[in-house]
A and B are shown apart, each in its own frame.
Chain A
């Protein structure tokens, strides 16, 4: 084949051009830290990269939600704990009052403590996380007791959503209930307390009073849960909260692990392998230099240089 100068310079130009574009690509990889910079560099990596980004953002958001869920459950747990303590004290007082050595004055005094505890329990029923009443179902803007000190006020069970669950997303498609519906629970407690007060005030005998501790109370107004039932309900609610706390902790761990996994996959997917990129860059540089120097030598020389 006949080879001419223009062929040599054409080849050299194109090869130098290719070499430049390779170097520019590696340079871009090193500088941006990413293997690809546009979808056509590698469509699969690009699409995967988009999905990973969405995943990471989702996990971040779920982790934030997790914090919110924890503060609800922790507060609920603590509040229910206080309710339990209060009920224990009520039991002590009732046991004491059931003793027939007490005069009705003594029972009046006991009753005043009972009244105080009732107020305290109503305050607990109005517990807030941030500006939200946690026992008001989904009607978080409204307390269960609009005025805790008003005598004989029942929890406002008629408020819309008072018995609703309040859920928070903690994972794709998984939402966990973070509240404990308080209106029924506190209503029962309140009614029980009311009955106890009434008993103490009515001059009932010790036997009648002691009955209020265990069995449900039957009065002219209907049947009311007794202390054991109420206490049992509180414990059940608290156990439920504990179980959910465990679940959230587990989800939290899972999210942490997933965050690490997804970040790692994302990095493997699109981050520049610096060792490889720099090695490639150096190799490409030497090729480029060789091409330049050989090219410069070859295209200069013709027969003209050698004939007189």
Chain B
């Protein structure tokens, strides 16, 4: 036999449930613009029917419903889209950083323009032609000295500026590593909260969202993989548990424990953008990333070392910065350009001096070097007296221009050591290569951004709050709430009939 007041209880459960759903709708609307928020949904289920089979159970026709309850409140999220999103974020992080590194280099080289090394070269050759026409003209000789200095200074300037930016990139590596470490710590701390709450049966949707935002951020820097570990105790079946994070198969976060990364250079010192080699103002290239044992706080012992070769190609900002900064014996965008400029400077000084040494100056000097230096950093004009410019190929012939003709011809002379190009065409090919790399980086970054947007839209399609939908839900839940209230009135009226109206026949 059912209870007299069962109808009230049934409708009360409906009232509560619809209220919960309404409040969740309110929560969704409040968070419509919260970054990383996933809309939440109340999983409704009907209560067990009456009566439950047993020795003393009531004999009723059929199984009478007893109302509904909120089984759980769950966030709507697609883990598969998250994974795609993070993969694209890896690429975007890589190519965005690469675009930036290359575009900074382009800014310094300022080609094509009237101010770059190419123009300095041309001006230098031009100044020689004036000596060709007037070999004993001191003014023309002085101009050549100045143009030679301008050329040497162009090399010096570009070398200094490129190294400065290389240093900035080194510093960015340090900051990025710190950022990664901070994110790892935050994820572990969220894991820790989740570990405390979930065994009691709660589903911590908003903590999952916060953690996913952090994982998204982390995947800008590193290509990571994640694994969910369910909590024990009385955990709900929709609880997501803690997140274990791996990089290259090494644990970065496990539950409340987290590891710390250190980015070390070839000498084993942290990469920090400080000058490592005072003599050349150079930097010690990237050596490896060390990952500590996980712990809370992390252990000091190193669990794993990741070499450059172990890192995934084209993934993550950290890898991109390392690619620009330098690694594996002189590879990388900046070290390669610096090495090529050094090579150009060295070849140029060598060839030019050899030709210059063979000639005679106005003052009879011979075997004099025009330039000194062997790198882009230390190239400089060696002579100060314009008379010493060896325009002649014989001593004592002030009108002899044969040697300066030979020097001027070096402009179009093919250099075997410079990939069979002239000095200038070699430099042009460096700029061309840079341009191709830059173009690729811009295109890849654009593609990655487009792809990520489309995946972001996929994710938004599943998880983001639609106000229209919430409004519709609100009306639905409100009407259901009203209907439940109405039901209670109906039950009240039937009870009123029994309590106040029965047994008063004839009154």
Instruction: Report yes or no: B132 in contact with A4, Cβ–Cβ below 8 A.
Output: no
A64 and B129 in contact, given A2-B466, A50-B118, A138-B400 (Cβ under 8 angstroms): yes
Instruction: Report yes or no: B409 in contact with A161, Cβ–Cβ below 8 A.
Output: no
Instruction: Report yes or no: A40 in contact with B397, Cβ–Cβ below 8 A.
Output: no
Residue among A40, A44, A139 with max Cβ neighbours from chain B (10 Å):
A40
Which A282-308 residues sit within 8 Å CB-CB of chain B?
Answer: 302-304, 307
Of the candidates A11, A40, A167, which one forms a contact with B441 in the assembled complex, judged by CB atoms under 8 Å apart? A40
Q: Which residues of B contact A203 (CB under 8 A)?
A: none
Which B433-458 residues sit within 8 Å CB-CB of chain A?
Answer: 433-439, 441-442, 449, 453, 456-457
Residue B197 is within 8 A (CB to CB) of chain A in the complex: no
A2 and B103 in contact, given A46-B112, A61-B126, A137-B399 (Cβ under 8 angstroms): no
A131, closest chain B residue (CB): B136
A65 and B129 in contact, given A7-B461, A42-B435 (Cβ under 8 angstroms): yes
Q: What is the bound-complex CA distance between A3 and B429, given in angstroms?
A: 49
B362, closest chain A residue (CB): A141
CB distance from A152 to the nearest CB of B (A): 26
CB distance from B67 to the nearest CB of A (A): 29
Which B405-450 residues sit within 8 Å CB-CB of chain A?
Answer: 405, 408-409, 411-412, 424-425, 428-429, 431-439, 441-442, 449
Instruction: Report yes or no: B467 in contact with A40, Cβ–Cβ below 8 A.
Output: no
A175 and B405 in contact, given A46-B432, A302-B467 (Cβ under 8 angstroms): yes
Residue B68 is within 8 A (CB to CB) of chain A in the complex: no
A5 and B431 in contact, given A40-B438, A57-B122, A160-B394 (Cβ under 8 angstroms): no
Q: Which residues of B contact A141 (CB under 8 A)?
A: 136, 398-399
Q: What is the bound-complex CA distance between A58 and B109, given in angstroms?
A: 22
Instruction: Report yes or no: A139 in contact with B397, Cβ–Cβ below 8 A.
Output: yes
Instruction: Report yes or no: B392 in contact with A47, Cβ–Cβ below 8 A.
Output: no
CB distance from A303 to the nearest CB of B (A): 4
Which A139-161 residues sit within 8 Å CB-CB of chain B?
Answer: 139-141, 160-161
Q: What is the bound-complex CA distance between A172 and B410, given in angstroms?
A: 11
A57 and B439 in contact, given A7-B457, A167-B402 (Cβ under 8 angstroms): no
Q: What is the bound-complex CA distance between A132 and B411, given in angstroms?
A: 27
Q: Which residues of B contact A139 (CB under 8 A)?
A: 396-400
CB distance from A11 to the nearest CB of B (A): 7
Question: What range describes how many residues of A lie at the interface?
Answer: 35 or more
Q: What is the bound-complex CA distance between A307 and B473, given in angstroms?
A: 13
CB distance from B352 to the nearest CB of A (A): 17
Q: Which residues of B contact A36 (CB under 8 A)?
A: 112
Q: What is the bound-complex CA distance between A65 and B103, given in angstroms?
A: 40
Instruction: Report yes or no: B471 in contact with A54, Cβ–Cβ below 8 A.
Output: no
Of the candidates B438, B453, B469, which one forms a contact with A38 in the assembled complex, judged by CB atoms under 8 Å apart? B438
Instruction: Report yes or no: A46 in contact with B111, Cβ–Cβ below 8 A.
Output: yes
Q: Which residues of A contact B135 (CB under 8 A)?
A: 138, 140
Q: What is the bound-complex CA distance between A304 and B129, given in angstroms?
A: 79
Which B189-235 residues sit within 8 Å CB-CB of chain A?
Answer: none
CB distance from A234 to the nearest CB of B (A): 22
Residue B464 is within 8 A (CB to CB) of chain A in the complex: yes
Q: What is the bound-complex CA distance between A144 and B119, given in angstroms?
A: 42
Q: Which residues of B contact A64 (CB under 8 A)?
A: 129-130, 133
Instruction: Report yes or no: B103 in contact with A38, Cβ–Cβ below 8 A.
Output: yes
Q: Which residues of B contact A222 (CB under 8 A)?
A: none
Q: What is the bound-complex CA distance between A133 and B460, given in angstroms?
A: 87
Instruction: Report yes or no: B457 in contact with A5, Cβ–Cβ below 8 A.
Output: no
A42 and B439 in contact, given A4-B466, A53-B119, A64-B129 (Cβ under 8 angstroms): yes
Q: Which residues of A contact B129 (CB under 8 A)?
A: 61-62, 64-65, 169
Q: Which residues of B contact A161 (CB under 8 A)?
A: 394, 396-397, 399-400
Q: Which residues of B contact A214 (CB under 8 A)?
A: none
Residue B289 is within 8 A (CB to CB) of chain A in the complex: no
Residue A168 is within 8 A (CB to CB) of chain B in the complex: yes
Instruction: Report yes or no: B453 in contact with A43, Cβ–Cβ below 8 A.
Output: no
Which A247-265 residues sit within 8 Å CB-CB of chain B?
Answer: none
Q: Which residues of A contact B405 (CB under 8 A)?
A: 167, 169, 175
Instruction: Report yes or no: B435 in contact with A47, Cβ–Cβ below 8 A.
Output: yes
- A59-81 contact mask (Cβ, 8 Å, vs B): 1 or 0: 01110110010000000000000
A17, closest chain B residue (CB): B449
Instruction: Report yes or no: A53 in contact with B122, Cβ–Cβ below 8 A.
Output: yes
Instruction: Report yes or no: A138 in contact with B401, Cβ–Cβ below 8 A.
Output: yes
CB distance from A12 to the nearest CB of B (A): 11
CB distance from A106 to the nearest CB of B (A): 44
Instruction: Report yes or no: B460 in contact with A47, Cβ–Cβ below 8 A.
Output: no
Q: Which residues of A contact B471 (CB under 8 A)?
A: 302-304, 307
CB distance from A266 to the nearest CB of B (A): 10
Q: What is the bound-complex CA distance between A167 and B404, given in angstroms?
A: 11
- B14-47 contact mask (Cβ, 8 Å, vs A): 1 or 0: 0000000000000000001100000000000000
19 A–B contacts from the bound complex (CB under 8 Å)? A2-B461, A4-B466, A6-B460, A7-B464, A39-B106, A39-B431, A40-B103, A43-B435, A46-B435, A50-B431, A51-B425, A51-B428, A132-B134, A132-B399, A161-B396, A303-B467, A303-B468, A304-B467, A307-B471
- Beyond A40-B442, A54-B424, 10 additional contacts (C-beta under 8 Å) are A39-B106, A39-B438, A42-B439, A57-B123, A58-B122, A58-B411, A65-B133, A175-B405, A302-B471, A303-B471
The 3 lowest CB-CB distance pairs between A and B, nearest first, are A140-B399, A40-B438, A39-B435
**B interface residues, Cβ below 8 angstroms from A:** 32-33, 102-103, 106-107, 109, 111-112, 114, 116, 118-119, 121-123, 125-126, 129-130, 132-136, 392, 394-402, 405, 408-409, 411-412, 424-425, 428-429, 431-439, 441-442, 449, 453, 456-457, 460-462, 464-469, 471-472, 475
